[in-house]
Amino acid sequence: MAGALRLILGDQLTRGVSSLKDIDPKKDHVLMVEVHDETTYVKHHKQKITLLLSAMRHFAEELKQEGLNITYVKLEDKGNTGSFTGELHRAIKKLKPSKLIVTEPGEYRVRAMMESWQDEFNLPVEIRGDDRFFATPAEFSEWASARKELRMEFFYREMRKKSGLLMKGKDPEGGQWNYDSENRKALSPKEKIPERLRFKPDAITKEVMDLVSQRFDTHPGSLEKFGWPVTRKEALKALDHFIKFCLPRFGDVQDAMKGSEPFLFHALLAPALNCGLLLPLEICRAAERAYHQGHAPLNAVEGFIRQILGWREYVRGLYWHVMPDYSRSNALDATRPLPEFYWTGDTELNCLRNCVKDTMDNAYAHHIQRLMVLGNFALLAGIRPSEVEDWFLAVYADAYEWVELPNVHGMALYADGGLLASKPYAASGAYIDRMSDYCSSCRFSPKAKEAEKLCPFTPLYWAFLERNRKRLSKNPRLFMPYRSLDSMAEATRKRHLATAEAFLSSL
């Protein structure tokens, strides 16, 4: 009797993924497919496509060397139908498997596809849970259903207890759950930034780069600086390098930005983690070990583990808990189109120009650039959420909808009306000035007295508060900003509103 067909998606490149467990090397067959639909459902950055296809090809090689039966369909192969469903049709016709086994995907649209396959192929389809996460979607829903208000901090504490990470018995290591207040320092100009481990493209990656340059030349971004790990071996080296050279300073200056330094002390691990080359538990354990060995301080290690054990799990749980309705909300009625400079970087606003350039050069921007510059501007300018979401999903090497959507829709744009975050992350130019060196080489300044030199973020910030007064002024966390707006001289307030209006019309 024919064995099972096991489909592995491009972000499931983990030998221990649930769909490969209990594989019978003699009878079963693995299928991996490069398909047009996945490479184009948004206009992915060239580096993101290169990373995925190269990592898929390397992973398939490893499975082959292990002796597993595998069919690998390349994008340019003759007969490639261009979709998961089409490629499954072809494979099922040829191999006549007894059943199809898959691991649940990271995106709702693919989940809907998977659910149609049993009828489509008239074949039993087993959709297994993705046990690479700390919590299942059902666990999150159970936690969320018992609460009036969802906050990451409380879910994170549950995950600390469940995993035992940074725990001393029943208590958190050091006596506190969260050391975030120690992690908001500005960067000293003298701070030495470590050089990062980047990986030279091998023959497989080079072949993919050629394919991507030809086939996706209209997609955003450049391949010149491609240096992402594309195998598990490389990803483990990247993890080790981060723990040794960056983790100790990760906490203190986690929120800082610097013009010439796109990476600072950030992990650069999300691209490898999200496609399966690394596992969240092994990353957290490595960081925890660094703390116990006295190599990194608690504020850095707790801050880092919280991003993975807290935020990453929380956004994933929320995504599956509230989809598909989540993506449709637009709580602040934001309808302006996405400005062209998000693709070109052609703007006089130096912070935005820098963040877009970093994004196009590396398919990467760190969290504060994404939230407090690119996201903040879209929030203040009232850009339509779906357009901002498509941009974020396209340009980052770590972007899949389960993690991108809650971060953009909820955290950056407050389009969910406060389900994910207790207040909008809106900030004026003074915040960007405090946390970066962008303003010193900008034609604008947050401190300027003359209207034509004043940083556009400042009038946009006040206009945002004014425009959303009915929706936001009752929020206790916005009491101070509204008090400042209300105590502003009438002429100043009017001038800010008029400047913001003129700026927005010029976009």
Measured from the CB atom, the residue of 310 and 446 that comes closer to ligand SF4 is: 446
Phi-psi region of 100 (alpha: psi -120 to 50; beta: other; left: phi over 0): beta
Q: Is 130 in the site for ligand DLZ (CB under 6 A)?
A: no
The verdict on 110 binding ligand DLZ (CB under 6 A) reads: yes
Q: Which residues contact 41 (CB under 8 A, 6 or more apart)?
A: 109
Binding-site string for ligand DLZ from residue 394 to residue 413, where x marks contact by CB under 6 A and - marks none? ------x-------------
**Do residues 229 and 205 lie in contact, with contact meaning Cβ atoms separated by under 8 Å?**
no
**Residue 270 binds ligand DLZ (CB under 6 A):** no
**What 8-state DSSP symbol labels residue 364?**
-
346 Rama class: left (phi>0) / alpha (psi -120 to 50) / beta: beta
- The option from ligand FAD, ligand DLZ, ligand SF4, none interacting with 34 (CB < 5 to 8 A, set by class) reads ligand DLZ
Which two tokens mark 380? Answer: 């203040």
Q: Does 381 bind ligand FAD (CB under 6 A)?
A: no
Single-letter amino acid, residue 406: P
Quick one: 23 or 287, whose CB is closer to ligand FAD? 287
Tell me which of ligand DLZ, ligand FAD, ligand SF4, none is bound by residue 396, counting a contact when its beta carbon lies within the kind-specific cut-off of 5 to 8 angstroms.
ligand FAD
DSSP 169: T
Classify residue 203 by burial, with Cβ atoms within 10 Å: 0-12, 13-18, 19+: exposed
Q: Please list, in sequence order, all residues whose beta carbon lies within 8 angstroms of the beta carbon of residue 477, skipping any fewer than 6 positions away.
A: 422, 423
Q: Quick one: which of 34, 93, 28, 23 has its CA closest to 58?
A: 34
Q: How far is the CB of 110 from ligand FAD (least distance, A)?
A: 16
Q: Smallest gap, in angstroms, from Cβ of residue 456 to ligand SF4?
A: 6
* Residue 433 found at the interface with ligand SF4 (CB under 6 A): yes
Q: Smallest distance, Å, CB 435 to ligand SF4? A: 10
Smallest gap from Cβ 441 to ligand DLZ, in A, equals 35
Cβ atoms of residues 336 and 197 within 8 Å: no
411: partner contacted, choices ligand DLZ, ligand SF4, ligand FAD, none (Cβ within 5-8 A by kind): ligand FAD
429 binds, among ligand FAD, ligand SF4, ligand DLZ, none (CB under 5 to 8 A by kind): ligand SF4
Closest of 38, 35, 46 to residue 211, by C-alpha: 46
Cβ at position 323, least distance to ligand DLZ in Å = 13
* Helices and strands (H, E) in the chain, number of each type: 24, 7
Strand partners, 79: none
Binding partner selected for residue 269 from ligand FAD, ligand SF4, ligand DLZ, none, CB under the kind-specific 5 to 8 Å limit: ligand FAD
Answer for which of 23, 60, 270, 439 binds ligand SF4 (CB under 6 A) is 439
264-288 in b/e form (b: 16+ CB < 10 A) is bbbbbbbbbbbbbbbbbeebbebbb
- Identify what 351 binds: ligand SF4, ligand FAD, ligand DLZ, none; CB under 5 to 8 Å per kind: ligand SF4
Which residue from 6, 29, 43, 44 is in contact with ligand DLZ, where contact means CB under 6 A? 44
The phi-psi region of residue 82 (left if phi > 0; otherwise alpha if psi is between -120 and 50; otherwise beta) is: left
Using alpha carbons only, how large is the chain's radius of gyration in Å?
Answer: 24
Binding segment toward ligand DLZ, per CB under 6 A, in 38-46, 405-413, 425-433, 489-497? 38-46
Q: Taking the complex as a whole, how short is the minimal distance between the CB of residue 440 and ligand SF4, in angstroms?
A: 8
Residue 291: how many other CB atoms lie within 10 Å = 21
> Which one of ligand SF4, ligand FAD, ligand DLZ, none interacts with residue 110, CB within 5 to 8 A by kind?
ligand DLZ
Three-state DSSP class for residue 73: strand
Contacting range for ligand SF4; rule: CB under 6 A; set: 6-14, 46-54, 186-194, 345-353: 345-353
**Dihedrals phi, psi of 415, to nearest 5 degrees:** -75, -15
The β-bridge partners of 101 are 6, 126
What is the smallest separation between the CB atom of 158 and ligand SF4, expressed in angstroms?
Answer: 37
Note whether 359 binds ligand FAD by CB under 6 A: no
Binding-site partner at residue 228 among ligand DLZ, ligand FAD, ligand SF4, none, CB < 5 to 8 Å by type: none
3-state helix, strand and coil shares in percent for the chain, rounded to the nearest 5: 55, 5, 40
376 binds ligand SF4 (CB under 6 A): no
Could you tell me how far CA 353 lies from the centroid of its own chain?
Answer: 20
Torsion angle of alpha carbons 95, 101, 103, 107, nearest 10°? 60
Provide, rounded to whole angstroms, the least separation between the CB of residue 118 and ligand FAD.
30
* Residue 276 binds ligand DLZ (CB under 6 A): no
* CB of 363 vs ligand DLZ, minimal distance in Å: 11
Task: Please report how close the Cβ of residue 106 comes to ligand DLZ at its closest, in angstroms.
Answer: 3
- Of 274 and 458, the one with the shorter C-beta distance to ligand SF4 is 458
For residues 43 and 342, what is the distance between their CA atoms, to the nearest angstrom?
13
Q: Name the segment binding ligand SF4 (CB under 6 A); options: 16-24, 114-122, 347-355, 418-426.
A: 347-355
The two three-digit tokens of residue 232, written as one number:
């598990």
Query: Contact positions toward ligand SF4, by CB under 6 A?
Result: 349-351, 429, 432-433, 438-439, 442, 444-446, 455-457
Residues at the contact surface with ligand FAD, assessed by CB under 6 A: 266-270, 273-274, 304, 307-308, 311-312, 315, 366-367, 370-371, 375, 392, 396, 398-399, 403-404, 407-408, 411-412
